[in-house]
Structure 1
Amino acid sequence: MKKTSFIQKLEVSKKEFHEISKLITQPNIISNQKKYRILLNKYTKLEKIVSFYEEYKKKLAVLQEINFILENDSDIEMKELASTEKYNILDNLSSIEKESYNLLLSSKYESDTEDYRNGAILELRSGTGGDEACLFVEDVLRMYTMYFKKSGWKYRIIHVQKGGIKGYKEIILDINGEKGVFGNLKFESGVHRVQRIPKTESQGRVHTSAITVAVLPKVKDIEVNLNLSDIKKDTFRSSGSGGQHVNKTESAVRLTHIPSKITVECQEERSQHKNFEKAISVLRSRIYQKEKEKRLKKMSTKRKSLVSTGDRSVKIRTYNYPKNRITDHRIHKSIYNLTEFMNGNIQEMINLLKLFEKK
């Protein structure tokens, strides 16, 4: 974040802090316990940011004095002292900037109900590239599940459609964890392109394939009111694993939301009832996302970038195996450690995307 932008955000926080400090003393706010608790919680968090900001301004003032001494004072001993002090001040300023940035980021998440959600639906689908694309879906699935493990999140498979030879044509996961699950994963929505030599390639030529990733916020039933009369339910025999049971009973479920024409399948559970519950959860998230996209189109001026709009048609990232490189095209950032990245160490890229979004 640029220093001018950083200070501007601190100024905005300070102004908001003073506004809230006045509001929480008003009788009509105090009498509304729900609103009062929300404002008081925000007041406490902003108070920390403002405290850091005041300290930051003091250090900047001292730094200005030190720079004046270094430029104008002829006393060598005084300059040496000033030089040492300048090093300490710069170190202090760096620490304050990091602490303030983390608080600003935390405050942003808590004011954005979507970013602060503790659940998400992750959908991976193969695109161009045939079998190689299906294999890459499997590789990216492994990457994400390792990331979930590092983050302490839990996941379960909702739906799987296997590829022709290996890998997956489609796989859908339900992820749950601490607050901020969606706020981290939302940046993954879009087209992920892979450039590598397929195992079946005898000439050693690099092929380009692509898969699509979609991240949907997990929503509650009160946020999307589904009318069962608008849903068409079909059952069929599961094609997945599960032995004789799935071959003899129609436990798999396909739901079609007639108004939006959105279709969801779920066949991972042995129970039709459980598959229905999972399918309803995914359907609710997809309907919510579709409505959200409509709102964003109407408010196009607010779409500053494609960083977190979830546009699935946009190529967001390239995984180049021969060059050991991952490039995120939205922020023009490359990381030259593909092995570690595919082992779930993707937080660095996510943090950079968060930083870019806040500019």
Structure 2
Amino acid sequence: MSDQNTRFLGKLEELDEKYTSIQAQISDPEIASDPNKLIPLAREQAKMRNIITLYREYKSTVSQIEDAHSMINDNDTEKEMVELAEMEIDELKPKSEELLQEIKDTLVMADDAAVDSIIMEIRPGTGGDEAALFARDLYNMYTRFAEKHRWKVENLSFSGSEMGGLKEVVFSVKGSGVWAELGYEGGGHRVQRVPETESQGRIHTSAATVAVLPEPEEVEINIDPNDVLEHVSRAGGPGGQSVNKINSAIKLEHVPTGITVSMRDEKSQHKNRAKAWRILRSRIYEHFMSKERAERDSARKTMIGSGDRSQRIRTYNFPQNRVTDHRINLTLYCLDKVMMGEMEEIIQALRVYDKQQRLENI
């Protein structure tokens, strides 16, 4: 067995011991009666359950192989039993290898699979009105993709432009596997096409940025309310006099990180506050997760799902019906289908590449 596999199995054994410890804690009456202690433990146990089940099956298979070898090496074993033991090894060895590979694949992607709610933010970059129209097209692409998966989409902040584009949109997407599928979309998106406003038929290049933030459960991130300043003001813009007369706009400022969130879409101050807190929690969570990733990845190649907004990740070339993902050098000539939400081929390629990178860095 290679040194890498030996180290990997050592980590799995540590995980197994941790899982057993969590089971014991959950069985403790004092913890079982306290939801604040029980819920995080139950959630952690649920995340580990699939891995531990596979690992224990792997250990059982390896044990059976070792027993068969012992039987073969025992001089007192009858010939027929030796032949049966050899047949058993021939069956069990491929099974053990498949289980080990499945454990690796599952382990490196387990955290992604556990996130079933995200917040996406799309904003136009360079390109004026055309960039705002491109931001709208990206929003439509993602919502169509979500509809195909029967995920729930909820707009949290929606600001349109005069030409029918988007100045900004913040929305949540909820459903099984949502982070594993859309977590790679964070970054800079570039479009090359003849704008609707272009009379000379010239191709323009515009851009938009996309942020994808895992939406944490409240128990996953503990924000001290004393660290958050709340500013209340009248909501400006469209909405009529009833909006402008009421102090409904909310701005939250997290002092330790400097992260701010403004929300004025709803007439209700309560609804604006609730939405603002959801976005604030996600941004703070992502802030600290990004710091952890930076520290973890400083000595090795960064994973492709980093979501750095300054990184150009994809180009959409409409005249050539071409879409190129620059992170994996993938080019497809089916942009029309991609914009209609048929993103599966791109996302699958990203997932395969990401899994390979993670396995190499275990």
TM-score (ref. length: structure 2): 0.73
The more displaced of 134-143 and 248-257 is 248-257
Q: Does 1:131 align with 2:140?
A: no
**Whole-Å Cα distance in 2 between the matches of residues 354 and 199 of structure 1?**
34
The residue aligned with 1:143 is 141
Q: Relative to 1, partners in 2 of residues 1:338 and 1:40: Cα closer, same or farther, differing over 3 Å?
A: closer
**Residue in 1 aligned with 2:318?**
321
For residue 203 of structure 1, give the secondary structure of its aligned residue in structure 2.
coil
Shift of the 171–213 alpha-carbon distance from structure 1 to 2, 3 Å rule, reads same
Is 1:15 the counterpart of 2:4 in the alignment?
no
Spell out the pairing of 1:11-50 with structure 2 (5 A cutoff): 15=9, 19=13, 23=17, 31-33=24-26, 41-46=50-55
CA shift digits 1:8-50 (9 cap, x unpaired):
9x95799369847985998x78744578966664332346779
Q: Which residue of 1 aligns with 2:247?
A: 250
Which of 140, 143, 153 aligns to 1:155? It is 153
User: How far does the alpha carbon of each residue in 1:280-338 deviate from its partner, in whole angstroms, 9 at most, with x for none?
Assistant: 11011111212222233333335523511111100000000001011000000011101
Q: Which amino acid aligns with 2:332?
A: I
1:169 paired with 2:167, answer yes
The residue that corresponds to 2:257 in the other structure is 260
Q: What is the CA-CA distance between 1:270 and the residue it aligns to? A: 2.9
Q: CA deviation at 1:217?
A: 0.9
Counterpart-to-counterpart distance in 2, 1:224 and 1:25 = 24
Matched, 1:227 2:225: yes
CA distance in 2, matches of 1:142, 1:268: 20
Unaligned runs of 5+ in 2: 28-40, 63-93, 357-362
Q: Deviation at 1:151?
A: 1.0
Aligned: 1:357 with 2:354: yes
* 3-state DSSP of counterpart to 2:132: helix
The amino acid across from 1:43 in the alignment is: I
Matches within 5 A, 1:1-359: 15=9, 19=13, 23=17, 31-33=24-26, 41-46=50-55, 105-110=105-110, 112=111, 114-178=112-176, 180-222=177-219, 223-228=221-226, 230-240=228-238, 245-301=242-298, 304-305=301-302, 307-359=304-356
Structure 1 residues 101 and 330, CA gap change in structure 2 (3 angstroms):
farther
CA contact (8 A) 2:119 2:214 kept: yes
Alpha-carbon distance in structure 1 between the residues aligned to 2:322 and 2:60 = 41
Letter in 2 for 1:276: R
Counterpart of 1:61? none
C-alpha separation in 2, matches of 1:138 and 1:25:
45
Maintained 8 Å contact 2:123/2:209: yes
Instruction: Indicate if the aligned counterparts of 1:116 and 1:181 stay in contact, CA closer than 8 A.
Output: no
Return the alpha-carbon distance in structure 2 between the equivalents of residues 15 and 172 of structure 1.
Answer: 42
RMSD between aligned residues: 3.6
